Each structure stands twice: as C-alpha cells, then as structure tokens.
A and B are shown apart, each in its own frame.
Chain A
Amino acid sequence: MSKVSLTVNGKLVTADVEDRTLLVHLLRDHLGLTGTHVGCDTSQCGCCVVHIDGRAVKSCTTLVGQVDGADITTIEGISKGDELHPMQAAFRDNHGLQCGYCTPGMIMSAIDIVHRYGGNLDEETVRHELEGNICRCTGYHNIVKSVLDAASRMNVAQAAE
C-alpha cells in the first residue's frame, strides 16, 4: 500500500492504495468520478483520457504512484459551474456523441489537441490526432466537426482574454 496526494479537479486528495492501482481506478472507485471510462485493456481506446498537469494522458496506463503531487483534471472538472467548456458545447451542438461512452475521453483528448495546435487545425490533423480515441457510434464525422468548431470557439475565447 502507498499513500499518495494529488490534486483532482482543483481539490487536494490523499489516498491509501495498493501499489498496482491505476489512476483510472482511483478516480472511479475511490473518488467516485465515474465520468472517466474504461473501454479496453491495451491503452488503445482512449475512453479513460484525463489531463495530468495539463496534458492528455490515458489514465488506464498510469499508476497512481506516478502521479503523486500531480494536478489531474477529469471530464467532471472542465465546466465552470453550469457553463460548459467550449469543447463540451461543440460536441452537443454538432451531435458529436451518441452513446456517450467514449465522449469524456474524446473531449479531454480534443481539448489537448486544440491547446497544442491553436488555430492551425484542419480535418486531416484532427483525424490523425484522434488515432488514440476509438468511437463505435458516430463514424467520427461529427466528432471531427465538433473539434474544429470548438477550436474556433476556444481561439475566439483566448483572443478575447
């Protein structure tokens, strides 16, 4: 067992966990943050993507011990109260989700993509960057639209700040 301290969605969390505990299981089973999902066991599907110190990471491949002291953001932590993150709003407005299971991971990956590329995003880049997130429902068409739409919303918001 190990004791770890980390910040999750702005709150300091300490936990006593088995050394083999994965971040996704800490989030889901210990902290009750069930928005982060598990869709595979080989780090392929991306349903479990969260932000660790601002970067998109698959939480199913991260041991809790590796994130001692880190700052974690999950899907539950990106909206400001009732105000959706622009990526969340874009997924809703563009019908970028159906069953919703891959959606949290998609949104967390997509936010990171926009952060990294800023205004230089096109369809081909989005499709390439989403390689690590599998969706079985949407055929990706509307996910790509959502990400491009959110990118322009986020850039506008950034420019305004």
Chain B
Amino acid sequence: MGIEGIGARVARKEDRRFITGRGRYVDDIKLQGMTYAHFVRSPHAHAKITGIELDAAKAMPGVIDVLTGQQIVDDKVGNLICGWAIHSKDGSAMKMGAWPAMAPETVRFVGQAVAVVIAESKNLARDAAEAVVVHYEELPAVANIKAAIADGAAQLHPEAPGNIVYDWEIGDQKATDEAFSKAANVVTIELTNNRLVPNAMEPRAAVAEYNPAEEHFTLYTTSQNPHVARLVLSAFYNIAPEHKLRVVAPDVGGGFGSKIFIYPEEMVALWASKKTGRPVKWTGDRNEAFVTDAHGRDHLSKAEMAFDADNKMLGLRVKTYANFGAYMSLFSSSVPTYLYATLLSGQYNIPAIYTEVVGVYTNTTPVDAYRGAGRPEACYLLERLVETAARQLKVDPAELRRKNFITQFPHQTPVIMAYDTGDFNASLDAALKAIDYAGFPARKAKAKSEGKLRGIGLSCYIEACGIAPSKAVGSLGAGVGLWESAEVRVNPVGTIEILTGSHSHGQGHETTFAQLVADRLGIPINQVSIVHGDTDKVQFGMGTYGSRSAAVGMSAIFKAMEKVEAKAKKIAAHQLEASENDIVIENGEFKVTGTDKAIALPMVALAAYTAHNLPDGMEPGLKESAFYDPTNFTFPAGSYICEVEVDPGTGKTSFVNFVAVDDFGRLINPMIVEGQVHGGLVQGIGQAILENAIYDDSGQLVTASFMDYAMPRADDVPSFQISHTTTLCPGNPLGVKGCGEAGAIGASAAVINAITDAIGNNRLEMPATPDRVWHAMQLQQAAE
C-alpha cells in the first residue's frame, strides 16, 4: 500500500489553501460587471399578497431592476420539484402544492422570497429592498404538526386537504398485531424529534452569468451535487438546456444535506442574469440561512415494542407525524419514509414491524435531509424505546440489547433492508470495555456522595448508506439513479487526474481519493489531482450525501483504475516484450514478475500518447471512465456510550466520558474518519442538549440567529474516545461502508439515555436544557 495508500493517516492535500486563506468559495468570486441581489422576504407565515409597490425602489441610485414572483411565473420558470414520489396507504400519490421560486400570490412561511432587487452593490440592493412595499392580507397560520392536523386548522394548499401530504405505511400490520397479542410485556414511548437548522458555516451563495452570444449560463453555487443542480435547473426549471448551463461548486463551506437542494435563490440569480444582462451575485446572510435553508428532523412519534417472557423482541409498532414545512423540498418525501422507517429494526432481530408515517404541511421553512436524514430519527426512537424497556423490565440495557442482536448475516429485516454484514456484539463489547461499564455503579455512588447525579446511556445504531442501488431506489419512487461516475486520466508525463462526480465540502476527497490511486500504483499522492465540482470538467455525477462518496464514488474510481491498469499493462508488456499476465505494478513501475525488467509509469504513459510503439490495433492515450451502481446499501453500525453528571441544583449536564465504537468496514484514512465521527457526534449532542428551532404560534422562527439558536460551542462538548471494529462490506470492491453520518445518528439517544438514567425520570425531550432537566427532576421527586 505504501505510506500514502489505503489505511494511512495522511495529512490532507487540500489543507494548505484553507489554512492560508486561499480557499475559493462562491462569495469570493468576482466577475466583471457583477451586480448584487437582495431578496424581499415575507415577514408573515401565511398571507395573501394584495399589492407590491416597486417605483420608489426602482428609482433609487444604483438599482438596475426589481423583479417579482409574478414575473418569474410569467417567464415560465418552473415550480420547485420534489424528486421522490411517495404513495399513501390508499395508493394515492402524495399531495403537493405549487412552489414558485418567488411567491406571486400567497406566502406560506416567514422568509419566503417575494421580490428581488438587483443593484450595483450589496448595500444599494439592501437599501432598495427596504423601499419595496408589499401589501399583505394576513391569513391564519399553522406553526406545528399538532396545529396543522387539528380540526378546523388553516389550510396551506388546496391540493392537500387537512394539510396531509401523505399517509404512508410499511411492514406487516397483521403480523405485528399478532405479535402484540402474544406479548408478555409491551413498552411504549412517545417523543418529539426536535427541529434543527443545519447551519453550515458558509451561508449559501450563487453567482450567475449569462452569455447572450452563446445563449449560455454559468452558475457558481454552494452545492453538494452540481450535476444534479444542472439537471434539475435544466429539465424542470426551464433555465437552459444542460449543454448551455455550466454549474460549478468550488470550495463549499460545509453542507450536512442542506446544500443538496436547488433553492429559489439560485434559480432567481440565473433568471435575473439573463433579464438584466449582467452577472448577478447573491450571498445569503445568517438570518436568511435560518429561514430559507431546509431544516431537519421535526417528528412526533409513538412507538410500542412487544416482548415475550424471556425479553425477546416480538414486534414493533410506530406511528410518526413528520413536519414538511410549507412546501415539499427536493428529497423531503423520502426522509421520513425510506430513510427512516426502513431502519426501525436497528441492530435487532424483530420479527414483525409496522409503521405509519403521516407527512404534514405547516407554515414553516421546508424540511428535508439533514446529516443522517431519517436515520437519526429512527435510531433515537428505537434506542430510547429499548433503554426504556430495559428500565421497565428491570434488566441491564446492554444485556437486553445483546439478547436481541442480529448475529447471522445476511439478515432480511421486515422493513426492506437486507443487512449484509456486521458484528454488533463486537462493537458493544469494545464500547463497554472502553467506558469501564462494570465500574459505573461505583462511580455513580461516588458522584452521589459528592452531591452529583451520574448516568450512563447506550445507543447501538445502524444506518443504511452509500445511497443507493438505482434500480432499488427507482422502484421505491426516486426520480434519479444513485450511481457514481469516475474518469482516470493518466497524463503523458505520468501524473494522474481523477475526475469524480462526488463533491467534497469538507470530507477530504482530494486526499482520500488520491490515496486509492497511490495504493494501486505505488506513487505519491502529490502526483494525483482530484477534479470535482464542475459540470464542464466532470461528465456527470450524483454528488455527496448519504455517506456515499467512499462506497460509491471511490468504487467508480476503482473500476476506472482497473481499466487503466489493464491497458497500461498491455503497453508495458509490449514495451518489455513480455506477457501482460506477467506484469505487476509496484512503486510506480510495471515489472515483469520474477525478473529485473521494469518500465516506469511515466514511460508507459508517454508510450501511450506518442503511440509510436503500441500493440497492434490499440488506441492511443491512457484514459478510462466508469460508472458504478451499488448492489446494496452499506450498513455502518456501532455502539456509543455516554456518561454524564447532572448538577441537581441547576439541571446542568456535564460530560464525563463519551465512547464511540464504529464499524465502517475498511478505513481509507483513519484520521479523516475520526474527524467525521467527531463532527457527527457534536451534531448529535447538539440536538440532544442545545439545538432547537422554535416557531411561535404565529409561525415566526424565534430562533433565527446564533444569538437565539444554541449552536454547540467548544466548551459545550467533550473530547471523544473513538475506536473501530471491522467487518468488510461485501457489496463494494473496497469493503468500505461510509462514515459521514454515524455520529449524528447515534449520539443523541446515548446522551438522553444517560441524562434520564442520572435523574431517574424517563420523560425528557430534546434538547435537554438545564431548565428541562431541572423540571424533570422536580416532577420525579414530587412523584416519589
């Protein structure tokens, strides 16, 4: 493998530009003649637009134009789409209301764009936006799930009676009912999965340029998947045919799902660049990020689990209401269905599962995939339920889990997923050992003697990643295939460019993808460049989300590398007058095995391009491409254990220890994998104790800044003890499973299980703020 190959802790190639301030993010881009966009946004959660006064704004200095929702509709820019069709129990299609890029008639959430000012500077655009007067007739709003489904609730879209998008089910209801009828014990939990704001540190931005001579658009945008953006902008929003639209996602400052989607602002920037004949830049501010980036989570659920007399799980019944906000965002429909309910079997052998999911419109920002997307909601529900069961059945929570673990693979769950491999006992054992589980009672007693409440909480998660086999997701309603592409270009001097459809926005692909090449050819990673994020350079790709870039993106590179190596071996054999079957690749050389005859990669490459002496009939050049379509999801899994101490006087939680043991299959760069886990864990911990997107009853987001929304700070969270167990993924050539989302999926249940263990009251919702914990303690004491 060499010192920079697979498994090596190599420092990242991309870091130098970031640590020296030479990254190139969208807002860093300046084009000749560039103008600036500022949006006029609705201050109301639900209102009719009865008039817009533009004259004063248009007359202001530096204002080029003020454009409205009616104009974008008149110009036949398409409404925003939802790309995954879900059908209700009764077979009917999901019920969607139209979402124009700017509202022509009705606004349905605070922050929805109504008009846009295009001006010579950012400040002039902002000033003029203040001068746009929009007349509204306020309508009653529904700000949460309960309000939306209440009798007589205000209705958002005529297409969706009762504000219901779909009423979906999965699993075998009859078998599940039978399991419950045979149960010795039934354990029930009701809980909220709190709404989160993704808050990548770089706010979204777009720079759009139209070239009238070529009828060609260029869009620089903060995207996790520029090719998908181009496809959707072209095929559905009528901006331009794909060959007349270049989408570039340069350095992107974090995504976490929120930059998968194609938002109104990018559409408007493109449309306005043609209308005004000038390049248009829009850079969101943080407040705009809070009210317009797709939010995450927001479920209300009830779950029941049936156990036999030996504490074996017999069945699981779940009913979940999922808040979609005011419009159906690009992949929103799939999140609480195929990315959530299909993971409700967790690590357990549960013979029967039945789940119903009701998707609900509310007058809030649209909700879509956020790190983990459905899987954190599944894990939190299931792992709190299992912990609750252990307490009610008075058995050790680790032992209850162990008793019900799946141990034989492959394992078909009752909810679609076929787990390919895993060793759940191994990760649990390692986690219990790392946290000294056996010593916990003594630590708890000691803490008690010091006036503190100790608690320990487990969370054994599984996720489905590498999203996903195209045929499978197509049969479930996806509008796209979820393969990945790669192209390997060996230059005439032997350096290599890898073109990938994956997109790096913090994941370190420029390093890990180069490590794969270094591993196969035995060359240093500095001889390999990774090209991504530009539809003019990379032919196509599905982008980065769902922990897919290693499992799917690198598998495509692997396949293309095999083709390159096969051709290079033929050339080397011809040059060395040997049989191609005798050629091996070592340290950047093609060697005739068992001899000292060798030819270096640059000489093979040069031979391929001079084409003076190639085998008969061989095409010149050394460049190959591949598409890789996964055969199954991958199933990263692991055990997280959190130990906390709660101050009974204040309700404040302190972390004593946090242990994470993950099985991600083969690790390409353990340093980068650990970094992914750290970040995910803090997003999970943030959800558990800090973060909450709160709407008041009128639909105002009252947590719309970093002053009001509690982002995890360095002193809110602990350092982590991380280790790995390994079962190789049999579904891809690298044996990798993906590591991007695990922390965010598994952490929150471990934290809440620990806090509820400490305070002895299981009724606690996220975020478990000191106030909530203190009140839960008082209620518990009153009950005792």
Contact = CB atoms under 8 A, between A and B. Distances in A.
Contacts of B252: 99
Interface in B487-514: 505-508
Contacts of A4: none
A133 B707 contact: no
A33 B21 contact: yes
B682 A139 contact: yes
B286 A39 contact: yes
Interface stretch (A62-70, A72-80, A114-122): A72-80
B251 A100 contact: yes
B524 interface: no
A133 B12 contact: no
A141 interface: yes
A148 B25 CA distance: 29
Nearest to A107: B19
Contacts of B715: 124, 127-128, 130-131
A139 B202 contact: no
Contact of A20 (B123, B711, B714): B123
B694 to A, nearest CB: 17
A142 B286 contact: no
B25 A41 contact: no
A92 B16 contact: yes
B28 A101 contact: no
* Interface core residue of A28, A37, A74 (most chain B CB under 10 Å): A37
Interface in B622-658: none
A136 B202 CA distance: 10
* Interface core residue of B285, B675, B714, B715 (most chain A CB under 10 Å): B714
A101 B717 contact: no
Contacts of A5: none
B11 A141 contact: no
A152 interface: no
A128 B717 CA distance: 11
A40 to B, nearest CB: 4
Contacts of B202: 37, 39, 99, 101
B22 A35 contact: yes
A131 B714 contact: yes
A101 B713 contact: no
Contact of B678 (A36, A41, A142): A142
B720 interface: yes
Nearest to A40: B286
Contacts of A39: 201-203, 253, 286
Contacts of A47: 201
A140 B714 contact: yes
B19 A91 contact: yes
A84 B19 contact: yes
B21 A137 contact: no
A127 B714 contact: yes
A102 interface: yes
Interface residues of B, number: 58
A100 B253 contact: yes
Nearest to B675: A95
A85 to B, nearest CB: 9
Contacts of B203: 38-39
Interface string A12-48: 0000001010000100110011111111111011010
A98 B720 contact: no
B254 interface: yes
A3 B469 CA distance: 61
B21 A76 contact: yes
B586 interface: no
B286 A42 contact: yes
A135 B201 contact: yes
B359 interface: no
Contacts of B672: 95
A59 interface: no
Interface of B: 11-12, 14-25, 27-28, 30, 122-123, 199-203, 251-254, 256, 285-287, 505-508, 671-672, 674-675, 678-683, 705-707, 711-715, 717, 719-720, 743
Interface of A: 18, 20, 25, 28-29, 32-42, 44-45, 47, 74-76, 79, 84, 88, 91-93, 95, 97-104, 107, 123-124, 126-128, 130-131, 133-144
Given A100-B17, A137-B201, A139-B680, 15 more contacts: A99-B253, A101-B253, A123-B719, A124-B715, A131-B715, A133-B714, A134-B201, A134-B711, A134-B713, A136-B200, A136-B683, A137-B679, A139-B678, A139-B720, A139-B743
28 contacts: A34-B27, A37-B25, A37-B253, A40-B286, A41-B285, A41-B705, A42-B706, A42-B707, A44-B705, A44-B711, A75-B19, A76-B20, A76-B22, A98-B507, A98-B675, A99-B506, A100-B251, A103-B18, A127-B714, A134-B706, A136-B679, A137-B675, A138-B678, A138-B679, A139-B720, A140-B712, A141-B675, A141-B719
When A and B form their complex, which 6 residue pairs have the shortest distance between CB atoms, in order from nearest? Answer: A35-B21, A101-B253, A100-B18, A99-B506, A139-B682, A44-B706
